[in-house]
C-alpha cells in the first residue's frame, strides 16, 4: 500500500540532509510507490550512507584537494594559444590560465567578456550591431586615412564616408572629440567633405610628428580597452563577446542585460559584484579550464580552493603573498618559499612557533595532529 | 553621461545575502560552537553589502546555490 505525497513530505521534512538528496528522494519515492515501512527503511539507509560519505573530522581536506587538482594539472598543456571556444577570440587556456586564477592576477592575459542583451536587443541583429559599435573602441585608424602635410605643417584626416555611416559618427563629432582630448587647432574642411585638418599650436616638426603619433591613441567612440566585439547567435538570442574587459563601463550601457553579463577577469567581478560573485567566478573559471582540457576534478576540491581564497572578504592568491604567506607558523611559511627571509625575520622579531600545524610538526619530527594523530587516549 | 541604475542583487553570480537577527546568529554560533569573529569575513565596502545596507559587526547569511548540496548556507561577518 503506497503512501500519499503529503506523508512523504512530512517524513522528509525534518531530515538533516542536503536539498539535492531530499529532492531526489522525494521524486524517487513518488515514482516507486513505496509503502511507509519501505520509505522508513530507505531513509535509514540513506542517512547511514550519507554519514559514511561525509568527510571525517581531522581529515586533511586541503592536501587531498591539492593532490586532486595537482595531478591532472601535470597533464595539462603547458602552452596553448587556441582560438578555441567562442567567436574566434583568443583566450588563454590550460595551465597558464589555471595559474592565473590561483594567483589572483589583477589582469588576466586575455581578458574577455560575455555580454548578454536585454530582450529587445537580443532578438534584433541590427540593434545588437548598434550596441556592439557602442561598446567597441573606435580609433581614428578604423575610420580614416591620415596624411602628414609637412609643407603646411598640418595633419590631414580623410574620413571614410561608409565607415562613418556604419558606426553612426559624423565629421563634426570626431572633430569635437579630438578638440576635447588634445590641445590642437581642429578645423573641419569646408570644401572637401569629411576632411578634418589638425594644426599644432606651435609650428614645429616635433609637435607635428608627436601629434601624428598621439592621434592613434584617442578613443573616438566606445569603451576604452575593448579591442574587439563579436556578435554571435546563441540559440535564440544574440550575445556579444569582447576582447578586453571593462565590466563597470559596459554595465552602464542601455540594452546590456546586467544580470547575465560576465567577464573572465576575477578582480573586476570582485570590485563590481562582490566577494561571493568572485568566489563563483573562480569556481566556474577553474572548472572550465580543467574541463576544457578533458580533465575532470571533483568540484568540491575547486570549491575549497575558492573558499579559502575568498574567506577574508577579498580575493587572495594561493602563494607567498596570500594564503601561504599568512600562515601563523614560521616553519610553515619558511617551508613554502623564500625560506631564509622568513627565518631571519622571525629570528629578529623573536617569533614563537606553537607547533600546532602539520608542516611545522613534520619539520621538527613530531607526530602530526591529523586523523588518528589528533586523538588522545586518557587512562584512569 | 548619466549613471545607469541597476540592482546587483539579480545577477546570476550573486547569491542571496541577508542580514541576520541577533537570535538567529546566536543559534548558528551555538550550533558550530564558535564566536562570531571566527566566521569568514566580508568587507563593508563590498558592493552587495552596500546595497543591502549591512553595518560593521553584523553577520550576513548567504544562500548559495551549491552544485553539490543544492542549497547551502554560508555566514560572513561584516568587517571594516
Q: How far, rounded to the nearest angstrom, does the alpha carbon of residue A111 sit from its chain's CA centroid?
A: 8
Q: Does A87 have pLDDT greater than 70? A: no
User: A299-310 and A61-74 helices cross at what angle (nearest 10)?
Assistant: 110
A305 to chain B, minimum CA–CA distance in Å? Answer: 14
B69/A20 Cβ within 8 A: yes
Helix (H, G, I), strand (E, B) or coil at A244: coil
DSSP class of A373: G
A63 to chain B, minimum CA–CA distance in Å? Answer: 20
Residues in chain A: 380
Give chain B's domains with CATH numbers. 12-79 (3.90.940.20)
Contact status of B56 with chain A (Cβ, < 8 Å):
no
Quickly count: other Cβ atoms within 10 Å of residue A78's Cβ. Answer: 7
Quickly count: other Cβ atoms within 10 Å of residue A112's Cβ. Answer: 22
pLDDT given at position A82? 55
Average confidence (pLDDT) over B50-58 = 91
Cα A71 to Cα A96: distance, rounded to the nearest angstrom: 16
- Best CA proximity match to A308, nearest among A107, A106, A102: A102
SS3 content of chain A, % helix, strand, coil (to 5): 50, 15, 40
Cα A188 to Cα A267: distance, rounded to the nearest angstrom: 43
Helix (H) or strand (E) holding A184: strand A184-188
Kindly indicate the confidence band of residue A1, based on its pLDDT and cuts at 50, 70 and 90.
low
ipTM, 2 dp: 0.93
Which of A45-54, A137-146, B52-61 is predicted least confidently? A137-146
Cα A308 to Cα A58: distance, rounded to the nearest angstrom: 17
Quickly count: other Cβ atoms within 10 Å of residue A126's Cβ. Answer: 8
B46/A272 Cβ within 8 A: no
Average confidence (pLDDT) over B53-58 = 92
More confident residue, A335 or A8: A335
- Best CA proximity match to B40, nearest among A51, A75, A315: A315
pLDDT given at position A84? 53
B68/A276 Cβ within 8 A: no
Nearest CA in chain B to A287: B67
Give chain A's domains with CATH numbers. 5-53 (no CATH), 140-217 (3.30.70), 327-374 (1.10.150.390)
Contact residues on chain B for A314, CB-CB shorter than 8 A: 43
Kindly indicate the confidence band of residue B32, based on its pLDDT and cuts at 50, 70 and 90.
very high
Cα A166 to Cα A51: distance, rounded to the nearest angstrom: 64
A300/B11 Cβ within 8 A: no
Cα A273 to Cα A263: distance, rounded to the nearest angstrom: 11
pLDDT given at position A202? 77
DSSP class of A113: E
Helix (H, G, I), strand (E, B) or coil at A200: strand
Contact residues on chain A for B12, CB-CB shorter than 8 A: 259-260, 262
SS (H, E, C) chain B: CCCCCCCHHHCCCCCEEEECCHHHHHHHHHHHCCCHHHCCEEECCCHHHHHHCCCCCCEEEEEECCCCCCCEEEEEEEEC
**What percentage of chain B exceeds 70 in pLDDT?**
96
Helix (H) or strand (E) holding A127: helix A125-135
Cα A289 to Cα A293: distance, rounded to the nearest angstrom: 7
DSSP class of A360: H
Average pLDDT, chain A: 86
Kindly indicate the confidence band of residue A333, based on its pLDDT and cuts at 50, 70 and 90.
very high
Average confidence (pLDDT) over A252-277 = 92
pLDDT given at position A201? 79
Angle at B51 between CA B45 and CA B52, to 5 degrees: 105
Size of interface A-B (CB pairs under 8 A): 90
DSSP A229-285: EEEEEETTEEEEEEES--HHHHHTSTTB-TTT-EES-HHHHHHHH-HHHHHHHHHHH
Contact status of A274 with chain B (Cβ, < 8 Å):
yes
- Best CA proximity match to B70, nearest among A134, A22, A295: A22
pLDDT given at position A147? 84
Which of A182-191, A284-293, A316-325, B60-69 is predicted least confidently? A182-191
- Contact between A258 and B10 (Cβ < 8 Å): yes
End-to-end CA distance of chain A: 55
Helix (H) or strand (E) holding A144: strand A144-149
Cα B25 to Cα A268: distance, rounded to the nearest angstrom: 31
Amino acid at each position: 500500500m503506497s503512501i500519499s505525497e503529503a506523508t512523504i513530505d512530512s517524513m522528509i521534512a525534518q531530515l538533516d540532509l542536503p536539498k539535492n538528496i531530499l529532492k531526489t528522494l522525494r521524486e524517487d519515492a513518488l515514482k516507486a510507490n513505496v509503502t511507509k515501512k519501505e520509505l522508513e527503511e530507505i531513509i535509514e539507509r540513506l542517512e547511514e550512507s550519507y554519514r559514511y560519505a561525509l568527510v571525517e573530522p581531522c581529515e586533511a581536506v586541503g592536501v587531498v584537494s591539492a593532490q586532486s587538482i595537482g595531478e591532472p594539472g601535470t597533464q595539462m598543456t603547458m602552452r596553448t594559444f587556441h582560438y578555441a571556444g567562442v567567436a574566434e577570440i583568443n583566450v588563454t587556456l590550460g595551465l597558464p590560465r589555471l595559474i592565473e586564477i590561483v594567483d589572483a592576477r589583477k589582469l588576466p592575459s586575455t581578458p574577455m567578456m560575455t555580454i548578454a542583451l536585454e530582450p529587445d536587443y537580443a532578438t534584433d541583429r541590427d540593434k545588437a550591431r548598434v550596441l556592439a559599435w557602442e561598446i567597441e573602441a573606435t580609433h581614428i585608424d578604423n575610420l580614416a586615412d591620415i596624411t602628414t602635410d609637412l609643407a603646411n605643417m598640418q595633419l590631414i584626416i580623410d574620413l571614410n564616408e561608409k565607415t562613418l555611416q556604419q558606426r553612426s559618427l559624423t565629421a563634426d563629432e570626431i572633430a569635437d572629440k579630438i578638440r576635447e582630448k588634445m590641445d590642437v587647432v581642429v578645423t573641419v574642411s569646408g570644401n572637401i567633405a569629411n576632411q578634418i585638418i589638425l594644426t599644432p599650436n606651435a609650428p614645429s616638426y616635433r609637435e607635428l610628428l608627436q601629434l601624428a603619433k598621439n592621434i592613434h591613441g584617442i578613443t573616438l567612440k566606445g569603451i576604452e580597452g575593448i579591442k574587439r566585439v563579436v556578435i554571435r547567435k546563441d540559440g535564440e538570442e544574440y550575445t556579444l563577446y569582447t576582447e578586453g574587459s571593462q565590466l563597470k563601463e559596459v554595465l552602464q550601457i542601455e540594452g546590456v542585460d546586467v544580470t547575465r553579463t560576465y567577464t573572465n577577469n576575477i578582480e573586476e567581478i570582485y570590485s563590481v559584484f562582490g566577494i561571493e560573485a568572485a568566489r563563483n567566478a573562480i569556481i566556474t573559471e577553474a572548472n572550465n579550464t580543467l574541463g576544457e582540457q578533458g580533465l575532470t576534478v571533483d568540484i568540491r576540491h575547486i570549491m575549497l580552493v575558492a573558499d579559502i581564497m575568498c574567506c577574508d572578504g577579498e580575493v587572495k592568491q594561493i602563494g607567498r603573498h596570500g594564503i601561504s604567506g599568512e600562515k601563523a607558523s614560521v616553519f610553515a611559511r619558511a617551508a613554502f618559499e623564500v625560506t631564509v627571509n622568513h627565518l631571519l625575520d622571525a629570528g629578529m622579531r623573536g617569533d614563537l612557533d606553537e607547533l600546532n600545524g602539520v608542516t611545522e610538526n613534520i619539520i621538527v619530527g613530531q607526530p602530526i595532529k591529523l586523523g588518528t594523530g589528533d586523538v588522545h587516549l586518557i587512562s584512569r | 553621461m548619466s549613471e545607469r541604475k541597476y540592482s546587483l542583487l539579480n545577477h546570476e553570480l550573486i547569491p542571496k545575502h541577508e542580514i541576520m537577527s541577533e537570535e538567529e546568529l546566536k543559534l548558528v554560533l551555538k550550533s558550530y560552537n564558535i564566536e562570531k569573529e571566527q566566521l569568514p569575513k566580508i568587507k563593508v565596502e563590498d558592493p552587495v553589502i552596500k546595497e543591502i545596507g549591512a553595518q560593521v559587526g553584523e553577520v550576513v547569511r548567504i544562500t548559495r546555490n551549491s552544485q553539490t548540496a543544492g542549497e547551502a548556507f554560508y555566514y560572513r561577518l561584516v568587517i571594516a
